[in-house]
Amino acid sequence: SQQGEEDPQALSIQEGENATMNCSYKTSINNLQWYRQNSGRGLVHLILIRSNEREKHSGRLRVTLDTSKKSSSLLITASRAADTASYFCATISGNTDKLIFGTGTRLQVFP
Amino acid sequence: NAGVMQNPRHLVRRRGQEARLRCSPMKGHSHVYWYRQLPEEGLKFMVYLQKENIIDESGMPKERFSAEFPKEGPSILRIQQVVRGDSAAYFCASSPPKITGANVLTFGAGSRLTVL
C-alpha cells in the first residue's frame, strides 16, 4: 500500500528557479526520507528527517516536516538542468523497518 | 566498494516461463528489500529479508512470487509462470544491521522484466 501522496505529480521550471514538492502521509512515522530517481535508474537517498525535527538542510535542499498535518516538503533552490528527475518521499512507521514510498513528483528543469 | 548489484539488468520472458532476479547487497549490509515499479509509478514494497529469514512479505502476491536470501550467495526474487502484468522494473535495496526506524536504503540499478 502507498503511504505517501506527492504533489504536484509533475513540475516544470527554468534553471535558477526554486522547486517545491510536497508529500502527505497517513499514519504516524518514525522518520521521513526523500529519494531521487533519474530516468531508468535506481533511487538515491537525499535526506532524512526524524519525526521530532521540523526542518533540515543539505546543500541546496531544504526539507520541512509538519507531523500535525502529516506532511513534508522538499525545496530545491537555484535549480539546475541536472536536477531533472523524479523525487519520492518515503516513510517508516512503528516497529517495522520497511520503507513505504509515495507516488513521486517528476521534475523537469529547462536550461 | 561495489554498491548493490542486480542482474540481469534486462530480462525477456514468454508467458508461462520463470523469471529469476538476483541481488547482491552492498558489502557490510545484512538486509535486503525488493520493490516493484510500473512505468510512471512509484515503488511498491514487496518483501524484506535478512540472511535465511523473511522478515516481512506483506507486499508479495500470494501466488507465483517467492524470495530468498540464503546464507551464501545473492538474494533471489523468483516469479513462476509469468504473465504480461508482471512486466515491470524490480529494484533491490540493502541496508546495514539496523537502527530500527532509521533505515536508509541503498538501491541497485534495477532489473527490467518484459513478458511477451
In this predicted model, what pLDDT tens digit does every residue of A84-103 receive, in sequence order? 999 999 998 766 678 889 88
> Pick from B4, B56, B108: which is nearest to A98 by CB?
B56
> Could you give the percent of chain A with pLDDT greater than 70?
93
- What per-residue confidence (pLDDT) applies to B1? 55
Q: How far is the C-alpha of A77 from the C-alpha of B96, rounded, in Å?
A: 31
Any CB–CB contact under 8 A between A89 and chain B? no
Minimum CA–CA partner of B96 in chain A: A97
- What per-residue confidence (pLDDT) applies to A30? 85
Smallest CA–CA separation between A29 and chain B, in Å? 9
Higher pLDDT, B86 or A4: B86
Higher pLDDT, A103 or B78: B78
Query: Would the CA dihedral through A75, A23, A81, B2 be positive or negative?
Result: positive
pLDDT at B99 over 70: no
Rama region for B21: left / alpha / beta (φ>0; ψ in -120 to 50; rest): beta
Query: Would the CA dihedral through B23, B25, B30, B36 be positive or negative?
Result: negative
Contact B42 A45 (CB under 8 A): no
Q: How far is the C-alpha of B95 from the C-alpha of B103, rounded, in Å?
A: 7
> Pick from A44, A97, A101: which is nearest to B100 by CB?
A97
pLDDT tens digit string along A67-86? 999 999 999 999 999 999 99
Q: How does residue A6 score in pLDDT terms, banded at 50, 70 and 90?
A: confident
Minimum CA–CA partner of B102 in chain A: A31
Which of B43, B92, B98 is most worth mutating to test chain A (most A CB atoms within 10 A of its CB)? B43
Smallest CA–CA separation between B87 and chain A, in Å? 15
